[in-house]
Amino acid sequence: MNIAINDYGGFPFPFDLSRELVKRGHQVRHLYTMSSGGPKSVPQSSAPKGLKIKNLEMAAVSKDDFVKRWYQELTYGRKLVAELARWQPQIIISANTPLVAQHKIINWSRKRKIPFIFWLQDLLSIAAKFILYKRFGPFAWPIYKYFENKECCILRKADYIITISDSFIPFLEKWKINMQKISIIHNWSPIEDLPQLPRKNYFSTKYQLNEKFVILYAGTLGLKQDPKLIVQTAKAFVEDKSIIFAIATDERGQNSLRKEMGSIHLPNILMLQLQPISVLPYMLASADILLSVLEDSAGSFCVPSKVWSGFCAARPSLLVVHDDNLAAKITTDIRAGLVVSPGGVDGVVGAIKYLKEEPSLRECMAKNARRYAEKNFFIPTITDSFENIFRQILN
């Protein structure tokens, strides 16, 4: 079968799916863009036979200029449709894609009667509401309604929806989406690419982390991730020379941190660039705690997938998210870390102190995390679920 997998963000797990589908004899075209920002895990050179990888080149997406960003996302949709037209897939899976681009893809696929699967990673209109109201207040309402209508339209037109969390279901019910065409498949991390490594390794030695208690945040750092909380927490530990906050993020994230710090110098914050996928296992292994942060309202529309990478790396997690978030529920259920409600720094400081003083607990959490990853991130089993959906749609 000819399958197109579109992953605007270039994340690890969709590429993991593409590789496995090719092993099973499918022809896969994996599409993404380097211009979207954030870490990329799609290799730039070699690919197995049957897998074609295409980076849709554009100017770097301007995330803080909403008008320019809208046009850039529309451009991505046009480029993607042109690529699909050249290849004519039998089925399309589209994930992590801006709504204006997603709308162009589904309209193109419906005209040609090509089945379209909406792989729902975030509720983008709810995310837009959160960001827009924070910036524009009540004047944001018409823009939010535009995005909500767009998202509802795409979801209704989709032949099938794969959602990553049952917490998204109430929104889909409210929008009157057909529940018969929805399945839940949780996200994962490619466990084969994230082996367990020693705490002391070349990365920890390079950045002088071996004698420190390392709290690592790795990934994009925008409005919904609350950089202010990270800075406030680092301030609370500035007198403790044994603790360091290693923040691996892009230029936009680093600028957000500097803005929150203002004129205050925090020597316990180590700013790093986003690391290549080949370096990621060593960076994760260098941490004593892996930190994930979501703003108060963001937990309803976003699941921080970086948590699953931490599970593969066998490191305890500290999640600053609401306890009804999927990542929080799983982390709590399997005792792979601590969950703190967002909104205040005291709970985060207390959790770090507690974990620092309990090395045996951290070790237990790390083992639980890895055990969960080994049981649930087995890509052949995950791919079986996708292939069952393909058969259901095509039949």
We report the CATH number of the domain holding residue 219 as 3.40.50.2000
Asked which of 25-29, 31-35, 130-134, 341-345 is least confident by mean pLDDT, the reply is 130-134
Tell me: do 182 and 201 sit in the same domain: no
Closest CA to 52 of 5, 20, 112: 5
3-class DSSP assignment, residue 168: helix
Tell me: do 195 and 267 sit in the same domain: yes
State how far the Cα of 316 lies from the Cα of 338, in Å rounded to an integer. 8
- Please, are residues 320 and 301 in contact by the beta-carbon 8 Å criterion? no
Tell me: do 84 and 15 sit in the same domain: yes
Tell me: do 389 and 372 sit in the same domain: no
Asked which of 106-115, 141-150, 244-253, 259-268 is least confident by mean pLDDT, the reply is 141-150
Q: Token pair of 12, please?
A: 């690890």
Closest CA to 168 of 224, 128, 132, 121: 121
Asked which of 38-42, 188-192, 339-343 is least confident by mean pLDDT, the reply is 38-42
Average pLDDT over residues 166-177: 92
Tens digit of pLDDT for each residue in 202-258? 999 999 999 999 999 998 887 678 889 999 999 999 999 999 999 999 888 899 999
Tell me: do 166 and 102 sit in the same domain: yes
305 to each of 34, 121, 312, how far by Cα in Å?
19, 10, 12
pLDDT at 133: 61
Q: Token pair of 382, please?
A: 């995950």
State how far the Cα of 315 lies from the Cα of 179, in Å rounded to an integer. 37
Question: Per the structure, how many domains does the chain have?
Answer: 2
CA dihedral sign of residues 303, 276, 312, 344: negative
Helical ranges in the chain per DSSP H: 12-23, 66-87, 99-111, 124-136, 141-157, 169-174, 202-206, 227-236, 251-261, 280-285, 306-312, 326-333, 345-356, 359-376, 379-394
Tell me: do 355 and 297 sit in the same domain: yes
- Please, are residues 245 and 272 in contact by the beta-carbon 8 Å criterion? no
Average pLDDT value over all residues in the chain:
91
Q: Give, as one character, the DSSP assignment of residue 188.
A: -
Could you identify the residue written with the tokens 């909406």? Answer: 118
Tell me: do 200 and 94 sit in the same domain: no
Q: Which amino acid is at 61?
A: V
Structural domain span for residue 390: 2-188+378-394
Tell me: do 198 and 183 sit in the same domain: no
Q: Token pair of 310, please?
A: 């931490």
